[in-house]
Amino acid sequence: MSETPVPGFSTLAVHAGAKPDPATGARATPIYQTTSFVFDDVDHAASLFGLQAFGNIYTRITNPTTAVLEERVAALEGGTAALGVASGHAAEFLTFHALLTPGDEFVASTKLYGGSINQFNHSYKNFGWTPKWADPDDLSAFEAAISPRTKAIFIESIANPGGVIVDIEAIAKIAKRARVPLIVDNTLASPYLLKPIDYGADIVVHSATKFLGGHGNSLGGVVVDGGTFDWLADKRYPMLSEPRPEYNGMVLGETFGNFAFAIALRVLGLRDLGPALSPFNAFMILTGVETLPLRMQKHSDNALAIAEHLSNHPAVKWVSYPGLPGDRYHQLAKKYCPKGAGAVFTFGLTGGYDAGLALVKNLKLFSHLANVGDTRSLVIHPASTTHKQLSDAQKVTAGAGPDVVRVSIGIEDAADLIADLDQALAAS
């Protein structure tokens, strides 16, 4: 028997998980817009409910369109399985729900998406889950934040909004010593630029709303199970190591081995908490993923050209883009994302807060909105918008001080984007 070669990333982006529709021959993955699925017979129904057979019951738990997206993202990230959910926040929430019990802690990077900081600081209090914050530029802060109640470490790979590259491999070593899983939010990098599991991450989460979908038209989230963590070693993760009464005393970590985490999120998290991805959104995101390699390369090339231009502009005080040779994260960028440092970066205006507002007002091609990862170029002034709820000190630690402007560079012509920035900087 000849060995099938492992397909390359671009091939997986187009094909992984998909085959012509068995019922109709449809080549594009159909949108299975149905809530429920008819059982073959009573025994089949019973085996599905008992987790003795894999199959579809109800779209809150599985759906064939979503399943193709799940298999594809798992393949692109190098994980064992994945779960599609309603949003990036749902992906984070289901992940923590499977790991933490009331009174538990997790260590979180201070350099995160503003929405994650809010979610962790405020809503997670209701569940008795406490974040312990650590600056990813100071690895000893991660060590120091770990206690016997720590159940996970959470970081972003390329961190929102500041163009920060986190030393995943070093933090994975800290997680291994503490015997807790490392969760990496890989939204801004996407697996095209960086695959956290290669560097020791155990779980990868995505806001598929951003680069995976890529066109600014559909919310979604994905959790990828790296298959690397031993859930039974210390019995500190009861959802995976305790018998489940509703599944005849099954221990998920024993029955499902290296994809038990993904199963737990599906048959307990999605089943009971309910943030299912709509099949239509799964289809839109799946279509986006097919061009992920092309788009991410163009995003990164454009972003580098624009960052270079801005760093020579008199109205710009500083540019924080790891792709720039002088940047403090450039060495980490060369190691973790040699193809490019992504679309999102920040820069500071000599004119401060007011100049930030004026720039946003005068840009024409850039859209002023709270998103990243669209084909279109986007701009926001974080201090007056996404990071407004944070204290002044938190704003600065999160890289969102008063003079900061964040851009998500699209896939238009770089020259047009540069011309738009130049006219708006002149007007501000």
Q: Is 210 in the site for ligand PLP (CB under 6 A)?
A: yes
Q: Of 130, 157, 160, 320, which one interacts with ligand PLP (CB under 6 A)? A: 160
Q: Which residues contact 368 (CB under 8 A, 6 or more apart)?
A: 360, 361, 378, 379, 380
Tokens of 174: 């800290």
Q: Does the protein bind ligand PLP through residue 187 (CB under 6 A)? A: yes
Residue 185 or 225 having the CB closest to ligand PLP: 185
Determine how many CB atoms are found less than 10 A away from the CB of residue 314.
Answer: 7
Taking the C-alpha atoms of residue 161 and residue 303, their distance in angstroms, rounded to an integer, is 14
Phi, psi of 320 (to 5 degrees): -110, 90
Structure tokens at 400: 């969102």
| Under rule CB under 6 A, residue 116 binds ligand PLP | yes
**Residue 320 touches ligand PLP, criterion: CB under 6 A:** no
Interface with ligand PLP: number of residues (CB under 6 A): 17
106 touches 129 (CB < 8 A): yes
Sheet containing 130-134: order of strands: 81-85, 221-225, 203-207, 182-185, 150-156, 105-109, 130-134
Taking residues 354 to 373 in sequence order and writing x for each that binds ligand PLP by CB under 6 A, - otherwise, the string is: ------------------x-
Could you say whether residue 87 binds ligand PLP (CB under 6 A)?
A: yes
Does position 225 bind ligand PLP by CB under 6 A? no
Rounded Cα distance between 23 and 127, Å, is 44
Cβ neighbours of residue 140 under 8 Å, at least 6 residues apart?
A: none
> Smallest distance, Å, CB 221 to ligand PLP?
5
Tell how strand 344-349 and strand 367-368 pair up: unpaired
Of the two residues 51 and 411, which places its CB atom closer to ligand PLP in the complex? 411
Which of 93, 106, 113, 321 contacts ligand PLP by CB under 6 A? 113
Least distance between ligand PLP and beta carbon 371 (Å): 7
Of 88 and 200, nearer to ligand PLP (C-beta) is 88
Q: How far is CA 95 from CA 213, 323, 406, in A?
A: 21, 31, 28
Cβ neighbours of residue 123 closer than 8 Å, sequence gap 6 or more: none
Q: Which of 64, 115, 162, 342 binds ligand PLP (CB under 6 A)?
A: 115
Q: Is 185 in the site for ligand PLP (CB under 6 A)?
A: yes
Report the chain's terminal Cα–Cα distance, integer Å: 67
Judged by CB under 6 A, the stretch of 81-89, 129-137, 170-178, 401-409 that binds ligand PLP is 81-89
Judged by beta carbon, residue 105 or residue 156, the one nearer ligand PLP is 156
Q: Does 192 bind ligand PLP (CB under 6 A)?
A: no
Nearest approach, Cβ of residue 343 and ligand PLP (Å): 11
- CA dist 27 → 9, 65, 278, 346 (Å): 20, 13, 20, 41
Residues 237, 241, 245, CA angle at the centre, nearest 5°?
Answer: 115
Comparison of 116 and 428: residue with beta carbon closer to ligand PLP: 116
Nearer to ligand PLP, 98 or 378 (CB): 378
Verify binding: residue 213, ligand PLP, rule CB under 6 A.
no
Single out the segment in contact with ligand PLP by CB under 6 A; choices: 112-120, 317-325, 386-394, 413-421: 112-120
Query: Which residues contribute to the site for ligand PLP (CB under 6 A)?
Result: 87-89, 113, 115-116, 156, 160, 185, 187-188, 207, 209-210, 219, 221, 372
